[in-house]
Amino acid sequence: MMFTSRLVINQYRYGFAKLFRGLCSPSGSSSTQTTVGSIDLKLDDLEEKPAFPGSRSKWTSTLSFIRSENYEGIPVYRVMDREGKIIETDGDPNLGQEMITKLYKGMTLLNTMDRVLYESQRQGRISFYMTSYGEEGTHFGSSAALRDDDLIFGQYREAGVLMWRGFKLDQFMSQCYGNIEDLGKGRQMPVHYGSRDLKFVTISSTLATQMPQAVGAAYFLKRQGTGRIVICYFGEGASSEGDAHAALNFAATLDCPIIFFCRNNGYAISTPTVEQYRGDGIAGRGPGYGMATLRVDGNDTLAVYKATAAARRIALEESKPVLIEAMTYRIGHHSTSDDSTAYRSVDEVRFWHQKDHPISRLRKYMEQRNWWNDESEKNWKEESKRQVMQAFVTAEKKAKPHVKEMFNDVYDEIPDHLTEQYESLMEHLKHYGEHYPLKKFQGMEDS
Amino acid sequence: MMNVFGRRILQLSKQLSSNLFVRNSTHFNYYPDTVAASEGETNRMNLFQAINNSLDLALTKNPNSFIFGEDVAFGGVFRCTIGLQDKHGKERVFNTPLCEQGIVGFGIGLAAAGGTAIAEIQFADYIFPAFDQILNEASKFRYRAGNQFDCGGLTIRAPCGAVGHGALYHSQMVEAFFAHIPGIKIVIPRGPIQAKGLLTSCIEDNNPCIFFEPKILYRTAVEQVPVKEYKIPLSKAEVIVEGDDVTLIGWGTQVHVLHEVCQMAQDSLNVSCELIDLQTISPWDRETVLNSVKKTGRVLVAHEAPLTGGFGAEITATIQQECFLHLEAPVTRVAGFDTPFPHIYEPFYIPDKWRCLHALKKLINY
């Protein structure tokens, strides 16, 4: 029904536009001009170029399909090789000893936290965990290139981004334990971090949903004109979701200052990329959406830094979206609920762990400049482990929030029916409290 | 409110609609509402004009508010956004690509960053591609973040309900799917006065809201609407007709069907009906409904959506639990049948006044 009416209305509308143009033209209507849809064309061009409003291409009389296998993939940008050597003499971003050391310490601290929390899940002390093994370079390299108030939307494997922003070990641990210090009030599964102060939007499990949201936020930040942009992280598996398509297309048509940062680590749980897509990865899609696109070596922290810094300039100065695909490898299991040896070889994992790891590569870069050595490595390992264990023990001892928090924040104010449901639960606990873990929850012992 | 160009388009589209659309049936008579003289100056508006007016006031009042969706820039396929882009600029009233999940996701993000997002889904029938963004994201945004982030600035508008010839995908009432989602508000007006006040409340409410607009009322519902900005509170039902014998509960167009049933019952059966417009589906006004039922002892709930799993079931179960000792007959539901919404059979499908009256007679004689 609407197809018919819209078509007819559109004809009237374009008719009006034409008439309006004719009336406004100072020299009267030009005989060599015509309007097709919203595009003005010179009549002389009509034979030379197609007039279809949907594209800007030329005619061809050769019948030839575009075939992606006829093209080489988009190259992988890197700054240093696997030995930490700068490839092009002017390629080094020269971030300086202090900054590089901070990056390195962050990556290794995340690595240490991952080990402790992974083990704690194995021991049943937290319910779930996801490590970042092998992808530390993408986190720290990219976040270091952002402004502190740029807004971040993530998937779930971006803890390093949050760590770079200043999220404390205590805060990570509190979220995983769902204790009274957890900013999320213990409502979400572990690793679903978020921080309003650090401009890191709270993680949710639903894949790719954050992508069109990040675009909407970028549109608003552009309107605010405060020089902030948005970065949105996601995996190559999430890129198959409809929301990824929505986001890339909206960002392009609405000119949003956003960096789409794809972590292509080769797997979505057990699914290898060959079962995820047949094009040239995720970067191969960028030009199709009309978007500046770059593929970068995700294990090269310096290349990731430079790529993100350059993307940020495009996003801000041109108010346009940019797509970065960071090629990397998921060294750890997908999560604590996954045993990845069921679908990939140990040798494959070993290669990436030993031969092409973002942490060891940055360490080699530092050692070549005498900024790091075995002794500083040993000292930092001990120090970082001490910090992590201290935060771990503290978080574990803390109580969980009051059960009332289960009913809070569903709406801005608790509606009457939820108040009644809360009261009915409290009434129930008066009679059956001994069957519930009341002691673990703050202020619930008397229920 | 509307510029000359807008009026011309409106005239054209009116002519077109009368030429192109053969309305199979108009299954109800519209009962215009009135406002007190104290509400100030009024203007004659139909439903789409009242919505346009509410949107215009929202954009004028709040520079951080935005309207977007499919074809909203030229005024919308139902004319609800006509003139708004000219007045408020292309940056604030704009077309999106044709992708509902993108529209809602975009709106959530815009709201989460601090803006006021007024998203349009062209037909409620096409809101389901965005179901995930509404169910898993918008409704849970504040809760899961421990109130660090929220998307309370989001309002989603969508035309809904029977239109005479809309068949499967231009007729649906989908409120019950959304009533099962904690964290969002669902609102359906019955006419221009309510539409303007309720929509303004949705836009300013600090929770994500879905505002379903009964599209058959866009042009048929005309009344004198206050010119000033005003709000009608959410989660408040309205008793439109007071009565003692039976409580009739509906929302949207169905309120007008029930209004006629009230009169038929009074005239032909000498039965006094109390008519309630629920207005907000979620969270709904249990107090007003339960007080009425305690007085009358008999209830009829009617909605266009299919019976099974319809929102009538929720109301019925609550009444049964809270008013058990007051009930003198089983709570009765008159609804669409448990089929897809059909094209040529629409007159037989909808819960029209005759089906409602028939059910009412049984209820009285129980």
Catalytic-role residue among A120, A335, A340, A384 = A335
Mean pLDDT, chain B, as a whole number? 94
Strands of B154-160's sheet, edge to edge? B93-95, B65-69, B116-120, B154-160, B209-214, B185-187, B280-282
Burial of B128 (0-12, 13-18, 19+ CB in 10 A): middle
pLDDT above 70 for B205: yes
pLDDT in tens, B305-341: 999 999 999 999 999 999 999 999 999 999 999 999 9
B9: contact with A, CB 8 A cutoff: yes
The pLDDT of B150-179, averaged and rounded, is 98
Mean pLDDT, chain A, as a whole number? 91
Strands (E), A244-393: 258-264, 267-268, 271-272, 292-297, 322-327
Residue of chain B minimizing CA distance to A249: B97
pLDDT above 80 for B23: no
pLDDT above 50 for A129: yes
Q: Helices A136-143 and A301-318: crossing angle, nearest 10°?
A: 40
- pLDDT for the residue A70: 81
pLDDT above 80 for A381: yes
- pLDDT for the residue B183: 98
- pLDDT for the residue A1: 35
Closest CA to A186 of A328, A433, A374, A398: A398
Please confirm, yes or no, whether A5 is among the known catalytic residues. Answer: no
Closest CA to A251 of A289, A201, A202: A289
Cβ pair A215:B108 closer than 8 A = no
- Which residues 102-131 in chain B show a CB within 8 A of chain A? 102, 104-115, 117, 122-123, 129
Residue with tokens 């009412």: B360
C-alpha distance from residue B122 to each of A2, A36, B114 (Å):
10, 26, 25
CB half-sphere exposure, B164, CA atoms < 13 A:
14
Q: Helices A96-122 and A358-368: crossing angle, nearest 10°?
A: 150
Determine the distance in angstroms separating the CA of A343 from the nearest CA of chain B, rounded to an integer.
30
What is the value of pTM for the model shown?
A: 0.92
Tokens of A135: 């992808």
Catalytic-role residue among B170, B256, B259, B303 = B170
pLDDT above 50 for A17: no
pLDDT above 90 for A14: no
Looking at chain B, the whole-number percentage of residues with pLDDT higher than 90 is: 93
Do strands A267-268 and A271-272 pair parallel, antiparallel, or not at all (unpaired)? antiparallel
Strands (E), A255-357: 258-264, 267-268, 271-272, 292-297, 322-327
Residues of chain B in contact with residue A214, where contact means CB-CB under 8 angstroms, are: 109
The pLDDT of A327-336, averaged and rounded, is 97
Rg, chain A, Cα only: 27
Tell me the ipTM for this assembly.
Answer: 0.93
Please confirm, yes or no, whether A335 is among the known catalytic residues. Answer: yes
| pLDDT: which is higher, A241 or A22 | A241
Report yes or no: B30 and B96 within 8 Å, Cβ to Cβ. no
pLDDT in tens, B234-265: 999 999 999 999 999 999 999 999 999 999 99
Looking at chain A, the whole-number percentage of residues with pLDDT higher than 70 is: 89
- pLDDT for the residue A69: 81
The pLDDT of B134-140, averaged and rounded, is 98
- pLDDT for the residue A33: 53
The Cα–Cα gap between A63 and A58 comes to: 14
Confidence of residue B26 (pLDDT cuts 50, 70, 90): confident
Cβ-based neighbours of A123, under 8 Å, separated by 6 or more: none
Strands (E), A13-171: 33-36, 39-42, 151-153
Residue B280 sits at φ, ψ, to 5 deg, of: -105, 120
pLDDT in tens, B263-307: 999 999 999 999 999 999 999 999 999 999 999 999 999 999 999
Confidence of residue A38 (pLDDT cuts 50, 70, 90): low
Residue B70 sits at φ, ψ, to 5 deg, of: -85, 120
pLDDT in tens, B229-240: 999 999 999 999
pLDDT above 80 for B3: no
| pLDDT: which is higher, A150 or A18 | A150
pLDDT in tens, B75-120: 999 999 999 999 999 999 999 999 999 999 999 999 999 999 999 9
- Which residues 403-432 in chain A show a CB within 8 A of chain B? 408-412, 415-417
- pLDDT for the residue B2: 39
Cβ pair B102:A410 closer than 8 A = no
Closest CA to B216 of B166, B169, B177: B166
The pLDDT of A185-197, averaged and rounded, is 98
Residue with tokens 């964290």: B183
Cβ pair A223:B115 closer than 8 A = yes
Residue with tokens 């409904």: B289
Report yes or no: A440 and A400 within 8 Å, Cβ to Cβ. yes
Burial of A226 (0-12, 13-18, 19+ CB in 10 A): exposed
Confidence of residue B25 (pLDDT cuts 50, 70, 90): low
Amino acid at position A58, single letter: K
What do you get for the CA distance between the two ends of chain A, in Å?
A: 60
| pLDDT: which is higher, B221 or A38 | B221
Please confirm, yes or no, whether B100 is among the known catalytic residues. Answer: yes
A1: contact with B, CB 8 A cutoff: yes
| Most distant pair of Cα atoms in chain B: their distance | 60
pLDDT in tens, A199-225: 999 999 999 999 999 999 999 999 999
B64: contact with A, CB 8 A cutoff: yes
The pLDDT of A425-431, averaged and rounded, is 98
- pLDDT for the residue A44: 60
**Can you tell me whether residue A240 is helix, strand or coil?**
helix
